[in-house]
A and B are shown apart, each in its own frame.
Chain A
Amino acid sequence: MDGAYDEMMSSDGELRPAYRDLCERLFSLGANELNEIQKSADLSFLYQGVTFTVYGKDEGIERVFPFDLIPRIISGREWNTIESGLTQRIQALNLFLHDLYHDAKILKDGVIPQEVVYTCKHYRREMRGVDVPRDIYVAIAGSDLVRLPGGEFAVLEDNLRVPSGVSYMLANRQVMKQVLPGLFEEYGVRTVANYAQVLLPTLQSLAPHQRSEPTVALLTPGVYNSAYYEHTFLARQMGIMLIEGRDLLVHDNVVYMRTSAGLKRVDVIYRRIDDDFVDPLAYRSDSTLGVPGLMNAYRAGNVTLANAIGTGVADDKAIYAYVPAIIRYYLGQDAILPNIETYLCSDQKQRQHVLENLDKLVVKAVGESGGYGMLIGPHSTKEEQDAFRRLIEDDPRNYIAQPTLALSKAPCFIDGEVDSRHVDLRPFILSGERTQIMPGGLTRVALKKGSLVVNSSQGGGSKDTWVLYE
């Protein structure tokens, strides 16, 4: 797409300084050698079982997540902006969630229209008046950033429910160090390897307060979940148990897991299951992934869930439009990282604009993720546009639209040649006693030429992301 920011080249055709040494090294290797390196990297992913599951067929298929050899480089200066911007954003969103589930002052003050919040399907009435440890609702966030044509980063969406992808960030780095070790010595690349060492104390710091030496466990939906590899990976890295709903039971509002030595109490659950599935008594009664009675134990304060129940209201794509206002309301600051301009279809005027420009805009369902439920105007057919027109008219609250973004381009090694592809960036933000951000993240790549969709389920891949000291 024209006008996209080029990560490697400046507009006058010069290599950006951060990419100079990298290019020199890579081009000195030649295509054959690069092919060999790519092969050995791919094999390493296969044998390690770094896979995700693609849905839609009769049974899920395990696939290796495509990995691109050429790292994406972010300078220390650029990173500082990202870091302070995301810290500010997550702190404000935690304050927002606490307010929303207590006095809802922000609604009374008219900053956000009540109906936008109360019509959100991820708003959980059960959480009203429930106190969570340290008032932290979002302990783990993975916000998606894009780089705009001018070079500045903006937030595309906040993933505040069960963000995934961090294991790929770590696996990419590990494989990169295996196959191109020399490069690291020349660059000062900041480490992300200590992610689990940061995550574990974050989770421990959120334990119900009377519990010393809390037992932390990771709750997975099981082997058929697309992110199962990541769940096993994180549990191993933290040295905590990987549990499934069927391992747990609730008695007198206390959660236990069934071990070979008898029942053992669980204090903090890092749950990788959506709200809807955590407790068949509270939410979907057909859920076999969850634990009957978990919600009551949670509301009684006997167990911590991370993230908290009901965080989805804050990453709703319609609420997203209000995040700069949320930051101003709670922190009295301007947002450091800008939002993408967003049209709410629930608003009559804005809806009109969206419907008139379906061929130019990107339309998204507010509660969806993973690249599902989306229309990319410029790449769509007339029929698809008409289908979305009907969807929007039927349920305007469920849709928002944004201008089609020229995601920045980064060099990739594809079919034996270097070519550029669109990328985004998902850094991971941890909030416990304090807010910490791993210097790096998952750079996702739209591997199909010209494509703007980076999701793994839709033909996306990823690459290592280097944040430099300088």
Chain B
Amino acid sequence: MLSRVADSLYWMSRYLERVEHMARVSSVNLSMALEQSPEAASRRWQRVLGGLRSRPPHSEGFHDPAEVAYWLIFNQTNHNSLASCAKGARDNARQVRESISIEMWEHINRLYFRVREAREASEWRENQGEYLSGIIETCHMISGVTDSTLSHGEGWHFIQVGRYSERASSIAALLDVHFAELQKPGLRGKARRDETDTYLDWVALLSSCIAFDAYRKVHTAQLLPERIAEFLVFNPEFPHSVCFAAQELENSLRAIGKITRSHRASRVNNVAHRLRSTLSFSQPSEQVLDTMNSHLRYVLDSCGQIHHAIHQAYIAYPVEQELSP
């Protein structure tokens, strides 16, 4: 596979994952804002923006949730906006149209048109929730179509790598912001003034990772910060946990190493292996909240390292090495 094609597949997939994540986070928080105190809602949006690693240019002016959401979703100067990511996904898909299935291209193309056309359209203003679930649905469609129409060969594995490295780092970033705020003195656990707000904050966090249902099946509706942290970070079975993403990441990187028989594969494979083992073999304890921050930092660092190592192994390796006999 051409290095450039591998690179585009990886980015296409990262952008798609980002679109889905951003649509879900926006949708969850817009609906939560409806039944929460204004004070809690404004704190929440600050957290949402932090968790999405997005900083609006004039954050004080942002009080209206719909305005924040509009900026997150449609703003063209925001390179991290959902619309920018949808364009990024399509631009990359367009670069490699012959390497993805026709069905994938058509659905990615539709996603792009859907976001572009809604910008001025009434579709967004009339029912934001419905609009965003439409986007999420399209993203699910794309990943389903990808899995069922594309050979699970090298290209598919690069797509997996893009998807799961994006997922691991975006969940880690989201948790990082949430738990950091939680650990501020005076806000910890039951010390918070408003029980309902706290409850809704946890529901929002879980729902942002489509984990509310899955969590309840394991731990019942009792929302305990330790368990939520443990579930979203260490659960090996839930597809939107960091641990699950790390497993998939490791598997696909190994597969790519095998297919290409590249002698440069070992470094990136080692980083992925270390990340996965750390998460699999960590014993979550009562003190999980105290070590949370360092765990999440480690995850984010590893994702960054993997990103660079992939580049060096498969995309921009030094040609001189190859040509010397």
Contacts and interface: CB of A to CB of B under 8 A. Distances in A.
Interface of A: 46-49, 223, 228-229, 232-233, 235-236, 241-244, 246-247, 249, 251, 257-263
A242 B6 contact: no
Interface in B76-116: 91, 94-99, 102, 105-106, 109-110, 113
A260 B95 contact: no
B1 A262 contact: no
Nearest to A218: B98
Contacts of A47: 106, 109-110
Contacts of A262: 260, 262, 317, 322
B34 to A, nearest CB: 35
A245 to B, nearest CB: 11
B98 A232 contact: yes
B256 interface: yes
Contacts of B98: 232-233, 235-236, 241-242
Interface residues of B, number: 32
A260 B322 contact: no
B97 A258 contact: no
A260 B260 contact: yes
B74 interface: no
Nearest to B310: A260
Contacts of A246: 4
Given A236-B97, A260-B256, A241 B323 contact: no
A232 B97 contact: yes
A254 to B, nearest CB: 10
B3 interface: yes
B279 to A, nearest CB: 27
A395 B109 CA distance: 47
B319 A261 contact: no
B22 to A, nearest CB: 24
Interface of B: 1-6, 91, 94-99, 102, 105-106, 109-110, 113, 154, 158, 256, 259-262, 314-315, 317, 319, 322-323
A259 B94 contact: no
11 contacts: A48-B102, A49-B105, A229-B97, A232-B97, A243-B2, A257-B2, A258-B4, A260-B314, A261-B1, A261-B261, A262-B262
Contacts of A251: 323
Contacts of A263: 319, 322-323
Given A260-B314, A261-B260, A261-B262, A249 B2 contact: no
B137 to A, nearest CB: 17
Contact of B106 (A48, A244, A257, A258): A48
B264 to A, nearest CB: 9
Contacts of B154: 260
A259 B97 contact: no
Which 3 pairs between the two chains have the least Cβ-Cβ distance?
A261-B260, A232-B97, A236-B98
B319 A249 contact: yes
Given A233-B98, A241-B5, 7 more contacts: A223-B91, A223-B95, A232-B98, A244-B4, A259-B3, A260-B315, A261-B260
A62 to B, nearest CB: 9
A223 B6 CA distance: 17
B254 to A, nearest CB: 14
Contacts of A233: 98
B262 A260 contact: yes
Looking at B4, B91, B96, B315, the one whose CB has the most chain A CB atoms below 10 A away is: B4
B92 to A, nearest CB: 10
Contacts of B6: 260
Nearest to B260: A261
Contacts of B91: 223
Looking at B154, B256, B319, the one whose CB has the most chain A CB atoms below 10 A away is: B319
A140 B3 CA distance: 29
Given A223-B94, A242-B98, A259 B2 contact: yes
A260 B2 CA distance: 6
